[in-house]
Chain A
Amino acid sequence: MSESVNADATQMSGGRTDSDAIVVLEGVHKKFKDFSALKGVDFKVGKREVVVIIGPSGSGKSTLIRCVNRLEEHDKGRIIVDGIELTLDIRNIEEVRKETGMVFQSFNLFPHLTVLSNVAIGPRQVRKMSKAKSEELAHELLTRVKIPEQAEKFPAQLSGGQQQRVAIARALAMKPKVMLFDEPTSALDPEMINEVLDVIKELAKDGMTMIVVTHEMGFAREVADRVVFMSDGEIVEVGTPSELFDHPKDPRTQKFLSQIL
């Protein structure tokens, strides 16, 4: 089964991506009560690919990426991450969660733990790393997101931008194969947006596979291999940044872009 999936992915993903698809969604439906948030989404992300999802509020962007690590359960269709299909089996779910890192709009750091413990908790508790090793890794990652000096503080003592960078380090600590970002800069003051975007750009440069929901169009243009436009629970249009931003085909895409640009 995964053979055929991989073959498909080769054709789907363009740009500088490698051959195999690492995230595959086939006909994914999601309902909240009787409201359809996702109406049959087909979508593939290749290894080392950066996909940016844009679209109006309420179009199902969050729901889509939250289905990828099972924070939401899809009702119909298939989701396969790194060859593991998400089913009711909790082992599969936990396996997928180990392979995907998520960064939330509202940071969601653990307020009762120091910055260092926030980053170390994943590898220590899930990957069973020793305390010393996990803290060494945490220090390394905090250096990578440029806040090594904040390790002993508590989250509430940091600025929003710093907190979000800790959240990125926390997700990276699990050595994920895919990173999911749900509007990572939407809760930040304008002057802090760039420090977070810079960290994400560097991840892209290092070849991390990423799905990023964002309203930062400049950022999307710069790092995205493909941009996905969503509206009303559907993927309306997919293309390279220049295709989608400069020559949008669908009238809904055109309307959205004219509103925000």
Chain B
Amino acid sequence: MKTWLRRNLFRTWWDALLTIVFSGVALWAMWSVFRFVVFTGRWEIIDVNLRLLLVGRFPKESLWVLYGVVIATCFWGAAALGGGKVAGAREASRSEQLFAAVRRFGLLVVVGLLLVVLAGVRESMWFVVAVVGAIVLGLQVKKWRRSIAKLRQIPAVIWHVALAITPITMMVLVIRSADVQLWGGFLINFYIAVLSILLCFPLGVLLALGRRSSLPMVRLVCATYIEVVRGAPLFVLLLLSGVALDFFLPPQIDPGPVFRSVTVFTMFTAAYLAEIIRGGLQSIPKGQTEAARALGLPTVKIIFLVTLPQALRNVIPAQIGQFISLFKDTTLAGAALSILEMLKISEAITKQDAFLGRGYIYEVLAFAGLLFWVGSYVMSKESQRVEKKLGVGQR
């Protein structure tokens, strides 16, 4: 212990100084957070407004479907993506597994508990338990599929469709159970982000391919689009979408603010994504295309079977980074298009009679920030894992 300390923390007087300074900073930060959470923070504002913050004016009688979606999706995600050792890694012992699990989920568990305590979700405890249960069950199902011969024979397509049916039907139910304009809070941030991510990904791929096309007109259009969109501030585009979209649509159609924002986020993120993917494509050696051509593969198959999969894998971190910014930027939609998303609601509830003019904004923003942080953290961590899993045998 003593030698470890000496070797790692206090090797020279300069190291020692740095160690002490940084420990001091860390301790001070931890203490400030702790004091705020436990002593000075006035969390009753979250407690009272929790439903508003999370789902806005989403009708109370349909809430159970929403809960269902979250639980079913957690199960699905765990069963489809989760678990699975990184191939090639040796069997880990129990204690190593435990250590890895703590490292992977420890921070999340702490934050989750924090959220539960802060928001006083005591009566919603069953929901937290259900989510955790769904994830554990999903991981187990995934393991069963690996180990039980009968399950392994089910083709991957059928297997995944079967698993996905429940959450997807429930999502459709949710979307139909309440007009999207009624949705609000974190739910609408999440919805806008997910929808935009799903839409911007194919668009980004097409733009990247277009910018590398051998046809000059295609190249020109894609390059212009990318450069114009990347040159504009997102907030300006959001403000503009309140008006500009109507130039392209027949007058009887009003897409409503949510879809206006989804359009902007999709188009904006696709432009950045296109550049990221283009970089990935450029990093693929020429020999790959040549080998595929020599086999007689047609151009489209070369792109979709050989170069694009490698390119996408090489730029996973940058892509996820872009998705994370998109997720956080959904908070701009409130100010620009008067969507009652998390930030807008956070601000609004501080103006309720009980809280007005007493500086509750800190607590509310801390809570909102925490939720976004959890989302971003999960995305970034999971992407690292997926990357490792796909990176098997890479050069």
Contacts and interface: CB of A to CB of B under 8 A. Distances in A.
Interface of A: 69-71, 94, 97-98, 100-102, 104, 106, 108-112, 121-122, 125-126, 153-157, 167, 170-171, 174
Contacts of B394: 111-112, 154, 156
Contacts of A157: 393
Contact of A110 (B288, B294, B298, B301): B288
B259 to A, nearest CB: 36
Interface stretch (B60-68, B71-79, B302-310): B302-310
B283 to A, nearest CB: 12
A104 B297 contact: no
A236 B394 CA distance: 43
10 contacts: A69-B293, A71-B294, A94-B298, A98-B296, A108-B287, A108-B290, A110-B306, A111-B395, A125-B301, A174-B296
Contact of A121 (B290, B295, B390): B295
Nearest to A105: B287
Point out which of A111, A157, A170 has the most chain B C-beta atoms below 10 A from its C-beta.
A111
A112 B310 contact: yes
Contacts of A170: 291, 295
Contacts of A106: 287
Given A94-B298, A104-B290, A110-B310, 8 more contacts: A104-B287, A108-B287, A110-B288, A111-B395, A112-B390, A112-B394, A153-B393, A156-B394
B313 interface: yes
Contacts of A154: 392-394
B393 A126 contact: no
A104 B390 CA distance: 26
Given A106-B287, A154-B393, A155-B393, A71 B295 contact: no
A106 to B, nearest CB: 6
Contacts of B392: 154
Nearest to A180: B294
A174 B291 CA distance: 13
Contacts, number: 69
A101 B306 CA distance: 18
Contacts of A126: 295-297
A102 B289 CA distance: 13
Nearest to A98: B296
Contacts of B393: 111, 153-157
A196 to B, nearest CB: 17
Contacts of B301: 125
Given A153-B393, A156-B393, A100 B310 contact: no
Interface string B375-395: 000000000000000101111
Contacts of B390: 112
B295 A110 contact: no
A52 B252 CA distance: 73
Contacts of B309: 112
A238 to B, nearest CB: 25
B296 A97 contact: yes
Contacts of A167: 291
Contact of B313 (A69, A71, A112, A122): A112
Given A100-B294, A101-B294, A126-B296, A108 B288 contact: yes
Q: Which 3 A-B pairs have the closest CB atoms?
A: A154-B393, A108-B291, A97-B296
Given A125-B305, A154-B393, A156-B394, A71 B290 contact: yes
Contacts of A125: 297, 301, 305
Interface in B326-351: none
A97 B287 contact: no
Nearest to B287: A108
A68 B296 CA distance: 13
Interface in B248-271: none
Contacts of B296: 94, 97-98, 122, 126, 174
Nearest to B286: A108
Nearest to B313: A112
Contact of B305 (A94, A97, A100, A121): A121
Interface string B167-193: 000000000000000000000000000
A94 B298 CA distance: 7
Nearest to A71: B290
A136 B151 CA distance: 23
A174 B395 contact: no
Contacts of A101: 294
Contacts of A69: 293-294
A211 to B, nearest CB: 13
A101 B295 CA distance: 7
A125 B296 CA distance: 9
Contacts of A112: 309-310, 313, 390, 394
B305 to A, nearest CB: 7
Nearest to A114: B393
Nearest to B390: A112
A167 B296 CA distance: 15
Nearest to B291: A108
Contact of B293 (A71, A153, A174): A71
Point out which of B291, B292, B313, B395 has the most chain A C-beta atoms below 10 A from its C-beta.
B291
A154 to B, nearest CB: 2
B166 to A, nearest CB: 29
Nearest to A157: B393
A104 B287 CA distance: 8
A164 B390 CA distance: 23
Nearest to A110: B306
A74 B294 CA distance: 16
